[in-house]
Amino acid sequence: MQQTGSREPQRIAKLLARAGVASRRDIERMIAEGRIAVNGSVIDTPATLLTSLHGVTVDGEAVQAAALARLFLFHKPAGVLTAARDPGGRATIYDRLPPDLPRLMPVGRLDLNTEGLLLMTTDGELKRQLELPSTGVERAYRARAYGAVTQEQLESLIEGVEIEGVRYGPIDANLERRTGANVWIEMILTEGKNREVRRVLEFLGLRVSRLIRTRYGPFVLADLPEGAIGEVRQHDLVAFRQSLGRGRAKEVAREQPIAVQGGAPARLPRSRPEQPPRERAPRPATPTPRPARPSAGTQKASARPERPPRPATAATLQKSGGAAPSASRARGPVRKPEVREELDTRPVAGEPTARAPRPKKGVGWAKAKPKARPTKPRRPRS
């Protein structure tokens, strides 16, 4: 990675773009307007070579040295322009970004109706490396199109195709599935020319109804919500830039995908003031013995009040043999088992039959016998 403070002379537009002032095109426009000066002298050409930004001012303010490059992943919604401003008043990506972010530049562009992953960085040099076809950074798209196409037609795109005098490079296209009259197609390319995916599919007789970019190099869209933005960790970005220098961008992109979580940009945790340790009371050398806890049976016995003895009645005196009940029999006299007397229920001549006594309910209960009818004495035969 080229450092801003190196002794190798570089164009002033490149240095200012790396410092996050503006894009190279905007810097060239600012130079033509006379807004940039070096050591107090206004420059008039973007070809001015410098070794550092020392003494460079923009609108009279000194330019700070370039900080570490930062990279963000943004899920661009459909119907939003990839531009800083629109003369027609349409919504742009900067209208959807949080206001507390640094100045970000989009890496490449997505059409108005194209959605998906959009890389945004603070470093103009990193932006240039990611956009150049010579670095071989892959872009993956998923397209929903109306019409009929075969896998053989899609495989023919691997050799490139020329449409209306424009030559498009190799495209790795695969048919994912069919849903009624529509087809879903995955396409991987390395150039990313203007409306390349749409024009190639229209050349095959298809009409694109939805286009999503799912990957840019090793950076994937994953589950990033629509309209959300997340920052790539610094060590992942450094490892990716090293792979670009070794020409291993394709291998790293397929082996180690990088995703981020949606929400606010990553921030360092807030430092909390140090608090003195809490003073704890010293424990006693001999622990205080706890009172014995009564058992459950003891608690129930103590909680239940004693019943007073019942007064002696004639019935209880007769059953107990004339003695009054003691305190141990406070809950009532003991019932003695009843003795049933067997009665002779056979009918006797000349006397009505007596009804048998019915046993008490609960003690030897049985079904009552049928009633016996009285019989008349027979008259002797003459």
CA distances from 335 to 195, 205, 309, 324, 338 (A): 107, 107, 17, 15, 9
Model confidence pLDDT, tens digit, residues 349-367: 555 555 656 655 555 555 5
User: What is the structure's pLDDT at 239?
Assistant: 87
Rounded-to-integer distance, Cα 76 and Cα 114, Å: 8
Q: How far apart are CA 19 and CA 123, in angstroms?
A: 7
Q: Report pLDDT for 2.
A: 41
Across 251-255, average pLDDT: 63
Q: Which two tokens stand for residue 280?
A: 């704890």
Lowest-confidence range among 126-130, 181-185, 200-204?
126-130
Higher pLDDT residue, 323 or 113? 113
111 is catalytic: yes
* Cα distance between residue 340 and residue 297, in whole Å: 42
Domains and CATH numbers, the chain: 10-62 (3.10.290.10), 67-135+228-261 (3.30.70.580), 138-216 (3.30.70.1560)
21-25, 138-142, 248-252: which has the minimum mean pLDDT? 248-252
pLDDT tens per residue across span 266-291: 333 333 444 555 556 566 566 566 66
pLDDT tens-digit series, residues 295-313: 555 555 555 556 666 666 6
Region 128-146: what's the mean pLDDT? 89
- In this model, does residue 4 exceed pLDDT 60? no
With tokens 């900067």, the residue in question is: 94
| Residue that wins the pLDDT comparison between 339 and 120 | 120
Torsion over CA: 244, 248, 251, 256 (sign): negative
Catalytic residue among 111, 123, 236, 344: 111
Q: Is the pLDDT of residue 207 over 90?
A: yes
pLDDT confidence tier of residue 68, bands split at 50, 70 and 90: confident
Going by pLDDT thresholds of 50, 70 and 90, the confidence category of residue 146 is very high
